[in-house]
Amino acid sequence: MLLLFRTPPPTDSPEVQQWIQDVKNSGITIPNIPPTVLGGCAANPQAAADASRCWWTCGGCTRTTDVTTCPDKLTWGLTYDDGPALYTPNLLNYLDQHNLKSTFFVVGSRAISYPALLQEEYLGQHQLCVHTWSHSYATTQTTEEFIAELGWTKKIIKEVTGVTPLYWRPPYGDIDDRIRAIGLAMGLIPVMWTRISTTATFDTGDFNIAGGLTSASQVLQNWEDIIGNASQIKTGFIVLEHDLFAQTVDIATGYILPAALANNPKLDIKPVISCLNKPLSDAYAETNDNTTNPFPANVNDSAYSS
Ligand SMILES: [Zn+2]
Q: Read off the pLDDT of residues 203-223 as tens digits, 9 standing for 90 and up.
A: 999 999 999 999 999 999 999
DSSP 8-state code for residue 291:
S
Does 292 have pLDDT greater than 80? no
The dihedrals phi and psi of 129, each to the nearest 5 degrees, come to -135, 165
Mean of the pLDDT values across residues 260-271?
Answer: 97
Does 66 have pLDDT greater than 70? yes
Share of the chain above pLDDT 90, in %: 91
Q: How far is the CA of 291 from the centre of ligand 1 (A)?
A: 31
Q: Catalytic residue among 126, 131, 135, 242, which? A: 242
pLDDT tens-digit map of 241-254: 999 999 999 999 99
Between CA 96 and CA 104, with CA 101 as vertex, the angle to 5 degrees is 110
The order of strands in the sheet holding 237-238 is: 237-238, 75-77, 268-270
In the prediction, which pLDDT does 27 show?
Answer: 93
Q: How far is the CA of 306 from the centre of ligand 1 (A)?
A: 31
Q: How far is the CA of 172 from the centre of ligand 1 (A)?
A: 6
In the prediction, which pLDDT does 148 show?
Answer: 98
Residue 54, phi-psi category: left (phi > 0), alpha (psi -120 to 50), beta (remainder): left
- C-alpha to C-alpha distance for 200 and 198, rounded to whole angstroms: 6
Does 2 have pLDDT greater than 80? no
Mean of the pLDDT values across residues 126-145?
Answer: 98
Domain architecture of the chain: domains with CATH: 18-24+56-301 (3.20.20.370)
- C-alpha to C-alpha distance for 238 and 191, rounded to whole angstroms: 9
Q: Are 194 and 239 a contacting pair, CB within 8 Å?
A: yes
Q: How far is the CA of 30 from the centre of ligand 1 (A)?
A: 24
Q: Catalytic residue among 81, 82, 176, 282, which? A: 81
Contacts of residue 50, defined as CB under 8 A and 6 or more positions apart, other chains included, come to: none
Mean pLDDT score of the chain: 93
Query: Can 81 be counted among the known catalytic residues?
Result: yes
Query: Can 174 be counted among the known catalytic residues?
Result: no
CA proximity to 65, closest of 213, 166, 214, 202: 166
pLDDT tens-digit map of 168-185: 999 999 999 999 999 999
Q: Are 71 and 235 a contacting pair, CB within 8 Å?
A: yes
Between CA 144 and CA 151, with CA 150 as vertex, the angle to 5 degrees is 80
Does 280 have pLDDT greater than 60? yes
User: Which residues hold their Cβ within 5 A of ligand 1, which is an ion?
Assistant: 81-82, 171
Mean of the pLDDT values across residues 97-117?
Answer: 97
Give me Rg for the CA atoms of the chain. Answer: 18
Mean of the pLDDT values across residues 37-57?
Answer: 97
Mean of the pLDDT values across residues 67-85?
Answer: 98
